[in-house]
Amino acid sequence: MAVTLDIADLRARRDKPASAHQSAQASVSPSAEIVSLASTSEDGHGCHAGKDAMRAAANAAGMSETLDQLAKDYPAGPHDQPQSMCPAFGSLRVGLRMRRTATILSGSACCVYGLTFTSHFYGAKRTVGYVPFNSETLVTGKLFEDIREAVHQVAKPADYDAVVVINLCVPTASGVPLRLLPKEIDGVRVIGIDVPGFGVPTHAEAKDVLAGAMLKVARNEAEQGPVQAPCGGRAGRPTVTLLGEMFPADPVVIGAMLDTLGLDAGPVVPTREWRELYAALDGAAVAAIHPFYTASIREFEAAGRPIVGSAPVGHDGTAGWLDRIGEACGVKRATVEAAKNRLLPAIRGALSASPIRGRITLSGYEGSELLVGRLLVESGADLAYVGTACPRTPHSEADRDWLEARGVTVRYRASLEDDLAAFQAFRPDLAIGTTPVVQKAKEAGIPALYFTNLISARPLMGVAGAGSLAQVVNAALGNKGRFDAMRSFFTGVGQGHAAGIWEDVPKLRKNAAPAPKAKPHAHDPIGEMA
């Protein structure tokens, strides 16, 4: 059941000075004053309600347009979505990394606690704002008023350039209308986004939700008149904007490559401060290092900037990327060939100096899995499978085609079941993947590496990337004997009668029924991969 609330009437009934809301009132169109909020019971539609119920509630609450856009930008896989951390962490992380940017969360207290804990675990040193709610404030619309009041309290131009408000699952499902927040308060931009777990599949894509929303605001500002230049001033040569978070050394390496083409590296999006957004939009082209930043790509295309997929990884990847960058930026063919002649031999030499020998399966949810796969193959590895939690997009086709041409199975929107099935089917010498994949491999006595901490946290581009993986991968491959020894020593510990703490040796009861066999998973990708 939905209730219709007149937000203007709620404002009038609140015991607040009218002057505190004048700037917001001016930015809200009269037709937007009436909103529909889903009536919920108890604590509303919490995560326990299930994704279908949450989506139905959000649609009933007038959020259909938002959910439809999210579904178009970030399509789910056949299994609904990958198993990953709360997607909202991606947007939260982007906001917390930006200077002079405040972030306010609106969601269930347990979710906010988990997100705040995770953000500080990953090194955030900034306060995370939170607007609590209960059933009454959620249903009556007071939560929206509380959010609006919090934004007014935080939006001080001496402290911030922007205030980001993020709706988590419950406020999105209940239709809390962040679109009605003022767009600006005393020069401080206010950006409200919905990042529900039932609408955004991965935290990697949630980074794009906020980056795209900020680029849209920045583009509109640039179209209206002069904007702030970068701190170091505008580059003297055309720049290439780098799209997607990457290892800190990679933009430097890419910049050195672009220098051979007579170009400069522009900002990395997501940016670290607001004015970098203008410089990003001012680039001659956009290098989609992470090709799934769909909302950001839409803004760059609206600004007339060409998009170049893939990245300068390995010999072939670097050669193809330089060709496409040169074409997009109008660089003379002779200059591009000269750059390739200068860069490619060193990359080939670094690859041959650090060969990798062994069968590997690779999976992750950071978005760089296909790039890492290319580097492993060129290093000599027998790469059997690449699974990524991110979706297939036109800008990742070059990487997919290259890998599949070399016999690698590529799976977009890979689930944990897909990754484990690949592990079982291909029996690798080394499994690179998420935590449960690593656990499964080590239980089987096979070396394994956690993708996020040990692989994606290394340079991948150019000469620096060519030899960066070999050391850690070869060290892991060399640990097979240690795993065999440990497996032999610990065989049977914690299993069957050896599990738990027993006062006496347990005895099998007479006529005890055998344990039921596990039912096969409905989606069986093992047969598809074997």
Indicate the range of 27-31, 38-42, 221-225, 456-460 predicted with least confidence.
Answer: 27-31
Q: Do 75 and 172 fall into the same domain?
A: yes
79 band by pLDDT with thresholds 50, 70 and 90: low
**Residue with tokens 């004015």, as numbered in its chain:** 275
Phi, psi dihedrals of residue 3, rounded to the nearest 5°:
-120, 145
Would you place residue 2 in the very low, low, confident or very high pLDDT band (cuts 50, 70, 90)?
very low
> How much of the chain exceeds pLDDT 70, in percent?
82
Least confident of 210-214, 365-369, 472-476, 514-518: 514-518
- Region 96-112 average pLDDT: 93
Angle at 441 between CA 435 and CA 446, to 5 degrees: 135
Alpha-carbon gap, residue 126 to 155, rounded angstroms: 16
Tell me the average pLDDT across 391-406. Answer: 96
Same domain, 364 and 441: yes
In this predicted model, which residue has the larger pLDDT, 488 or 2? 488
Q: Quick one: pLDDT at residue 515? A: 54
In this prediction, residues 93-106 reach a mean pLDDT of 94
Question: Which pLDDT score is estimated for 233?
Answer: 75
Q: Tokens representing 192?
A: 């409200």
CA distance 6 to 392: 42
pLDDT category of residue 43 using cuts at 50, 70 and 90: very low
Q: Which residue has the higher pLDDT, 446 or 521?
A: 446
Asked if the model's pLDDT at residue 31 lies above 70, the reply is no
- The pLDDT of 212-218, averaged and rounded, is 97
Does residue 312 sit in the same domain as residue 363? Answer: no
The answer to whether position 497 is within a domain reads no
> Residue 36 falls within a domain, yes or no?
no
Q: Which DSSP string do the residues of 123-182 spell out, in sequence order?
A: T--S--EE----HHHHHHSHHHHHHHHHHHHH--TTT-SEEEEEE-HHHHHTT--GGGS-
pLDDT of 498 reads: 67
Chain mean position to CA 234: 29
- Are residues 302 and 262 part of one domain? yes
DSSP H helices in 314-368: 314-329, 333-353
Indicate if the pLDDT at residue 524 is higher than 60.
no
H or E, element range at 383: strand 382-388
Spatial CB neighbours of 111, under 8 Å, sequence gap ≥ 6? 47, 86, 88, 105, 168, 169
- pLDDT higher than threshold 50 for residue 504: yes
Contact partners, residue 397, CB within 8 Å, separation at least 6 = 309
Per-residue confidence (pLDDT) for residue 138, from 0 to 100? 86
> What's the total number of domains in the chain?
3
* Mean pLDDT value of segment 324-332: 97
Query: Does residue 401 sit in the same domain as residue 479?
Result: yes
- Amino acid making up residue 232: G
Distance CA 461, CA 231 (A): 26
Report the pLDDT value the prediction gives residue 44, as an integer from 0 to 100: 47
Domain with 174, as residue range(s), is: 49-201
The per-residue b/e assignment along 452-462, b for 16 or more CB within 10 angstroms, e otherwise, is: eebbbebbbbb
- pLDDT over 80 at 171, yes or no: yes
Q: How confident is the model at residue 294 (pLDDT cuts 50, 70, 90)?
A: very high
190: left (phi over 0), alpha (psi -120 to 50) or beta: beta
- Asked, for residue 249, whether it belongs to a domain, the answer is yes
Give, to the nearest 10 degrees, the angle between helix 314-329 and helix 333-353.
Answer: 160
Least confident of 9-18, 235-244, 325-334: 9-18
CA gap 8, 22 in Å, rounded: 12
Q: Which of 349, 384, 400 corresponds to the end of one domain? A: 349
Sequence-distant contacts of 338-346: CB under 8 A, at least 24 apart: 338/260, 339/257, 339/260, 339/261, 342/260, 343/257, 343/260, 343/318, 343/462, 343/463, 344/315, 344/318, 344/319, 346/463
Q: What is the pLDDT of residues 233-253, one digit of tens each?
A: 777 899 999 999 988 999 999
Instruction: Yes or no: say if 461 and 250 are a contact pair by the CB < 8 Å rule.
Output: yes
pLDDT band at 49 (very low <50, low <70, confident <90, very high): low
Q: Is residue 105 part of a domain?
A: yes
Q: Are residues 145 and 162 in the same domain?
A: yes
Site of tokens 């404002």: 11
CATH code, domain carrying 264: 3.40.50.1980
Q: What is the pLDDT of residue 234?
A: 79
Same domain, 326 and 371: no
Could you tell me the two tokens for 453? 């901490």
Residues 305, 381 share a domain: no
Q: Which of 349, 384, 417 is the last residue of a domain?
A: 349
CB 407 within 8 A of CB 431: no
Indicate if 470 and 426 belong to the same structural domain: yes
Residue 397 — very low, low, confident or very high, per pLDDT cuts 50/70/90? very high
My answer on whether 56 and 176 are in the same domain is yes
Judged by phi (left if over 0) then psi (alpha if -120 to 50, else beta), residue 515 lies in beta
* First-to-last C-alpha distance (Å) of the chain: 50
In this structure, what DSSP letter does residue 391 have? P
- pLDDT of 379: 94
Query: Does one domain contain both 123 and 196?
Result: yes
Name the residue with higher pLDDT: 55 or 271. 271
| pLDDT band at 198; cut points 50, 70, 90 | confident
Domain assignment of residue 295, yes or no: yes
Residues 365 and 316 in one domain: no
What is the residue-averaged pLDDT of the chain?
Answer: 84
Percent over 90 (pLDDT), the chain:
58
Residue 326, pLDDT above cutoff 60: yes
Give the C-alpha separation, 367 to 204, whole Å.
Answer: 7
Residue 103 resides in a domain: yes
Find the range with the poorest average confidence among 32-41, 71-80, 345-354.
Answer: 32-41
* Domain assignment present for 10: no
Q: Per the domain annotation, does 136 fall within a domain?
A: yes
Domain boundary residue, one of 201, 226, 255:
201
| Band (452; pLDDT cuts 50, 70, 90) | confident
Decide the pairing of beta strands 382-388 and 359-364: parallel
